[in-house]
Structure 1
Amino acid sequence: MPEGHTLHRLATSLRDAFAGDVVRVSSPQGRFAESAAQLDGHRLVEASSRGKHLFLDLEDVPSVHVHLGLYGKFAVHDRRGGEVPDPVGQVRMRLVSERSWADLRGATACETVTPEEHAAILARLGPDPLDPAADPLLAWERISRSKVAIGAMLMDQTVVAGVGNVYRAEVLFRHRLHPLRPGRTLRRGQFAALWEDLVVLLHDGVRDGAIRTLRPEHAAVAREASKVEGRRVRNYVYRRQGQPCLVCGATVRTEELQQRNLFWCPRCQPVFRSRAVV
């Protein structure tokens, strides 16, 4: 599933391609046809994202809310003065202007929303590390009171918006936190460092268009691991189960949590043992 940096980049691409233009909106697949007819011929004002949610604001009509889910794709193209090709496959929504065109396929959600519904979606989301106005204390208040594993809470979009399985696995490794450690056992300083790292990593993802989580001092060992594993190693533990940890050499493990796979190093991320006296 695309993570927050991908949606942020997509919102920027759509804004650059369509903002200020009158847009033709259609639904070649037909599932969005009624709403598309309502939006067709209006000017696109803004494209924005929060976490894994995308919003398109057009003049005088409801906004469009998109959640790509696991399989959604929203491809943006420059017309360069040429004709827009016929739709290929199941295109839920097509946008066309004088400058650009874009096709949305496979999204979990593609719907029009009123201002009140738009605000309600945002209100359900936790702070987004890509939002300069985000308040991380809102996430800390939830985490610090919960017995739920920190690995589950980071994936809960009502706690932190935009973090997916890759960022979850990698940021916990970078801070030597076992993914099954209860949230309430974290110290505030640990959470603050975790949040600050997420801000940096997601902004790096926006800049690079890819998730890269390796610190510079581990680049050489990652290059060697790439030769052995037959693919470029860009991360510490994500999808590296059964492979040696890049830092300590222990075997990276995996386990399912809430229908998603965890990845961690048992030596760098030891099981949390409370020092409290029972």
Structure 2
Amino acid sequence: MPEGHTLHRLARLHRRRYAGRPVAVSSPQGRFAAEASTVDGQVLRSAEAHGKHLFHDYGPHGIVHVHLGLYGTFGEAALPPAEPVGQVRMRMVGSTHWTDLRGPNRCELLGPEQVDVIRSRLGPDPLRRDAKPEAAFERISRSRTSLAALLMDQSVLAGVGNVYRAEILFRHGIAPDLPGRRLDPLQWKEIWADLVALMRIGARSGRIDTVDHADLPEVTGRAPREDRHGGEVYVYRRTGQPCLRCGTAVLHRELAGRNLYWCPVCQPS
């Protein structure tokens, strides 16, 4: 599932390509046809993200809410648009580019009140300027739940997914099973600042890189990571491989149906 930096990157791209001008909106697949006809030809006022949610604001005509889920993708190219291929839920055609949305978990036209309900259920987003990290820590500091689970709870912290969760815990030497209420306030401030910095890099580059300069392949001489997700990481999807800092085999287990990775030496219980 795409993490929050991907949605912010898309929002930035859609603002640049489509905002401030009329946009032709259609649903070649047909499942979004009625809603698409409502905003078709209207001016896209803005595009913004909150966590893993994307919102296209067409003013009085409504707000298109997209949640990509596990399989959703946007594909974009310069005009002219190609013939639709596959199940295109929503097509947007602007003055210079077009984009197709396929396979989202949600693609719906909402009113402002409905959008407010969605956002009220989300925790602070490290990539939003209006984020209040203290709200997340208030939830974390009262919970017996493991920090690894809390970081993935979108009502606690919006936008952090499996990769950032594993990497941020490693970078701060925190065991995944640490109860939230045992996290020190200073540790939380450092974690939040690190998430902001790492996710901003991800939003710019389109990939997740969490490895410090001293641990990069070109510095250490190790082989670059080969993974379809790209990016240099410490523990994510490196089960059994040596930790880049201490050489201990990276461990793996499932937590709440998601894969969890950590180094037992660098992240002692």
Q: Which amino acid aligns with 2:100?
A: D
Map of 2:120 onto structure 1: 123
Matching residue's letter, 2:234: Y
Identity %: 52
Aligned to 2:245: 247
Alignment map for 1:78-227 (pairs within 5 Å): 78-79=78-79, 83-220=80-217, 224-226=221-223
TM-score by length of 1: 0.92
1:91-118 C-alpha deviation (Å, 9 max, x unpaired):
0000112322110001000001111001
CA displacement at 1:223 relative to structure 2: 5.5
Structure 1 residues 28, 191: closer, same or farther in 2, change over 3 A?
same
Aligned to 2:256: 258
State the number of aligned residues. 267
Q: Deviation string for 1:43-67 (max 9, x for gaps)? A: 1111110110000011320100000
* 1:89 to partner: Cα distance: 0.5
Q: Where in structure 1 are there 5+ consecutive unaligned residues? A: 272-278
What are structure 2's unaligned runs of at least 5 residues?
Answer: none
Q: Distance in 2 between matches of 1:226 and 1:52?
A: 32
Q: Which structure has the greater CA radius of gyration?
A: 1
| Whole-Å separation in 1 of the counterparts to 2:28 and 2:253 | 41
Q: 1:52 to 1:250 in 2, by over 3 A?
A: same
Give the letter for the 1:176 counterpart. G
Tell me the secondary structure at the aligned position of residue 16 of structure 2.
Answer: helix
Q: Distance in 2 between matches of 1:236 and 1:145?
A: 29
Deviations 1:21-71 (A, max 9, x none): 111111111111111111112111111101100000113201000000111
Distance in structure 2 (CA, Å) of the matches to 1:112 and 1:204: 31
2:208/2:231 contact within 8 Å kept: no
Q: Within 1, Cα distance between the matches of 2:113 and 2:226?
A: 50
Per the normalisation by structure 2, the TM-score is: 0.95
For 2:231 and 2:20, the matched residues in 1 are separated by 41
Looking at structure 1, the residues matched to 250 and 219 of structure 2 have their Cα atoms a distance apart, in angstroms, of 14
Runs of 4+ in 1 over 6 A off after TM superposition: none
What corresponds to 1:29 in structure 2? 29
| Residue identity matched to 2:249 | T
Residues 233 and 43 of structure 1: CA distance in aligned 2, closer, same or farther (over 3 Å): closer
